Chain A
Amino acid sequence: MAAGTETVLDVENLRVSSGARGERRVLVRGVSLTVGRRRTVALVGESGSGKTLTGLALMGLTPAGTAVAAERLLVGGVDLTRMSEPEFARVRGRRIAMVFQNPMEALNPVLRVGHQFSQVLTRNLGVSRSDARDRARELLDSVGVSDARRRLGQYPFEMSGGMLQRMMIALALAAEPDLLVADEPTTALDTTLQAQVMALLAERREDVGMGMVLVSHDLGLVAEYADEVNVMYAGRVVERAPTREMFASPVHPYTLALLRTVREIASPGTDRLSSIPGSPPPLDDPGSGCAFAPRCSFATAECTAVVPELKGVAEGHDVACVRSER
């Protein structure tokens, strides 16, 4: 990260596990991330790579029955590792917020949108209900929703997905958090809306001055909007680099394969889609050694013996692969 940029997220060795003590299963195996103010760090990977779970762990919102541990989890300089649930609830929506994949299901179907804004604003901004109404209108303006007064009187099912995602962004950013976790924020939207919503997020990131963790499987989106990319596989970060470097000179065989699937779509003359043979291992059982080894065309005996650590190959570029260590 560039010197002088304030760090808003500093997480070291984040682990998520589930199950009772005797049969504990590890799902996220030591993820470390640093996000600076007004920077976007992407988590990419296939479904089941643990990227969404990592996002939820930052929010303290992993499903019941899971446990989160980390050496360090600082958001805006505040340590979240030792917080009780009521304390954590006060941090959510204020220092750290999240936008989810499906805006059609994100709001409560039986409450007017205005009521839901009121609940959030009175809680997070400490304003009165009538002030909350004014603030809600300003917030809707800031995310490009017109006719705010009428919209606030409506129910979620009366609105489109794009409109609802704008509302969700407005709610999440109402208290100007230090960090926003955006989990596939445009995946459920029409293609034409995707660019609009991403542009809105980028704009609001600048205005609010927050950092952003962008969870996505869409490499095109990531190439355009992220400053740094973390490729996740089976609960680990296997490669991390500044976006430009990642797309110019990927090192990990998994990253190479992932990028090939996109490039062949982009380049004409190919009529067959490339895919990575096999499927990722279950999160809780990645096998011995490198989890990607069974699908890797470069795999050797060494690969199944030890789990490779993330090691620097260039400035800000780390790779977890035995091939890169030579």
Chain B
Amino acid sequence: MWRFALVRTGQLLVTLFLASVAVFLVIEHAPGDPAQVQLGLSATPAEIAVERRKLGLDASVMHRYVVWLGQALHLDLGRSFATGLPVTRTIVTAFGYTLRLDVLAIVLGIALGLPLGIAAALRRGSRLDAGISAFAALGLSVPVFAMGTLLILVFAVHFKVMPAAGAGVPGQSVLSSLRYLVLPAATLAIPFAAVLARYLRVELGEAMEQPYVLTARSLGLRRRTVVVNAWRNAMIPTITVMGIQVGRLLAGAIITETVFSYPGIGYLTVQSIQSLDYPVVEGVLLLGAAVFLLVMFVVDVVIGFASPRMRIEGA
């Protein structure tokens, strides 16, 4: 277990290093000049040169990367070109918003997808199954921006029961901050539930056809017991797939957060790219990579517990 964790940590550091190099090189070749963006179109070449020096852009890429890396090792990711605030603090704040949104989205997604997937698997070929498959196909094929806009139109514009955008004001009650989460969380939860339901339908359906299910039935076990036993097998591959979904959510739901102007990591990513805010772009992309790898690590640990074969014989 500890060896496993150590290996994964090593992998994480190597990946982060490679990702940081890639991000540095790619963003360097993005069109536009951050100094120009900060000063506006009326800035003179002299003013731009001064601004570039101020932002540290006059040094070579290599030099800037080494300086940045040295600071990054102390968890200092520099200051935002746009706001002048430390990137670390900006990112932590945004990630807090994203985390809150995603936890609610995942809880909703599981609460919806798990029972639907199980019901569809146990009644394959029935009308219920067809209905659930239709829901899942819809949930997956309707683009997030359309789903988000639709929810805004219905619940914020027409019925006026939910706020349309933002995250509210600081210091508000839990209940009112929750209100801002409902629509974006639902937007994220629907495709999440759709993937979970479709996957579980197949996996549980296959598990129910395994010989051990016939044996369990021949021994007189209750249907509920038989299904739960089979479900524990079906969850092993399902957890892997859902882990990838969770990892992607935590890296920032760019479209959803943009549609709802929700100040999470996804929104921050878009803003920082638009304003060529190099330090912030670098920061959010690294955070995304780190979070994704971390989630995959957690998934492997969970699967180790769910699958005794992997735990005992090793992956």
Q: Mark B226-252, 1 if CB is under 8 A from A, else 0.
A: 000110110010000000000000000
Q: How large is the interface on A (under 10, 10 to 19, 20 to 34, 35 or more residues)?
A: 20 to 34
A106 touches B (CB below 8 Å)? yes
B89 touches A (CB below 8 Å)? no
Q: Is the CB of B217 within 8 A of A110?
A: no
Q: B220 touches which one: A91, A105, A111, A157 (CB < 8 A)?
A: A91
Q: Is the CB of A105 within 8 A of B211?
A: yes
Which residue numbers of B lie inside 8 Å of A, CB to CB?
A: 210-212, 214-223, 225, 229-230, 232-233, 236, 306-309, 312-313
A247 touches B (CB below 8 Å)? no
Q: A93 touches which one: B219, B233, B236, B306 (CB < 8 A)?
A: B219
A103 to B313 CA separation, bound complex (whole angstroms): 20
Given A119-B225, A155-B309, do A106 and B211 touch, yes or no (CB 8 Å)? yes
Q: Is the CB of A89 within 8 A of B222?
A: yes
Please name 29 pairs of A and B residues whose Cβ atoms are closer than 8 Å in the assembled complex, sorted by A: A61-B214, A89-B220, A89-B221, A90-B220, A92-B217, A92-B219, A97-B218, A100-B218, A106-B212, A106-B215, A107-B215, A108-B216, A108-B232, A109-B233, A109-B308, A110-B232, A110-B233, A110-B307, A111-B229, A111-B232, A120-B220, A120-B221, A123-B220, A123-B225, A124-B220, A157-B309, A157-B313, A168-B215, A172-B219
Q: Which of A144-201 contact B (CB under 8 A)?
A: 155, 157-158, 168, 171-172, 175
List, in ascending order, chain B residues with CB within 8 A of A102's CB. Answer: 211
A120 to B221 CA separation, bound complex (whole angstroms): 7
Nearest residue, chain A, Cβ from B232: A110
Nearest residue, chain A, Cβ from B213: A108
Given A109-B233, A109-B309, A155-B308, do A61 and B211 touch, yes or no (CB 8 Å)? no
A112 to B308 CA separation, bound complex (whole angstroms): 9
Closest 9 CB pairs of A and B: A93-B220, A92-B220, A105-B211, A93-B219, A98-B218, A106-B215, A108-B212, A155-B308, A120-B219
Q: Mark A88-132, 1 if CB is under 8 A from B, else 0.
A: 011111100110101001111111100000011001100000000
Is chain B's binding surface mostly helix, strand, loop or mixed? helix
> Would you give the shortest CB distance from A32 to chain B, in whole angstroms?
23
A111 to B308 CA separation, bound complex (whole angstroms): 8
Q: Is the CB of B211 within 8 A of A100?
A: yes
A91 to B217 CA separation, bound complex (whole angstroms): 11
List, in ascending order, chain B residues with CB within 8 A of A94's CB. Answer: 220
List, in ascending order, chain A residues with CB within 8 A of B306's CB. Answer: 110
Given A108-B233, A155-B309, A155-B312, do A119 and B221 touch, yes or no (CB 8 Å)? yes
> Would you give the shortest CB distance from B253 to chain A, in whole angstroms?
33
> Would you give the shortest CB distance from B126 to chain A, in whole angstroms?
12
> Would you give the shortest CB distance from A63 to chain B, in whole angstroms?
9
Q: Is the CB of B217 within 8 A of A105?
A: no
List, in ascending order, chain B residues with CB within 8 A of A93's CB. Answer: 218-221
> Would you give the shortest CB distance from B122 to chain A, in whole angstroms?
11
A59 touches B (CB below 8 Å)? yes
Beyond A92-B220, A119-B229: 20 further Cβ-contacts under 8 Å? A61-B214, A92-B217, A92-B219, A93-B218, A94-B220, A97-B218, A100-B214, A107-B212, A107-B215, A108-B229, A109-B233, A110-B232, A110-B236, A110-B306, A119-B225, A120-B219, A120-B220, A123-B222, A168-B215, A172-B218
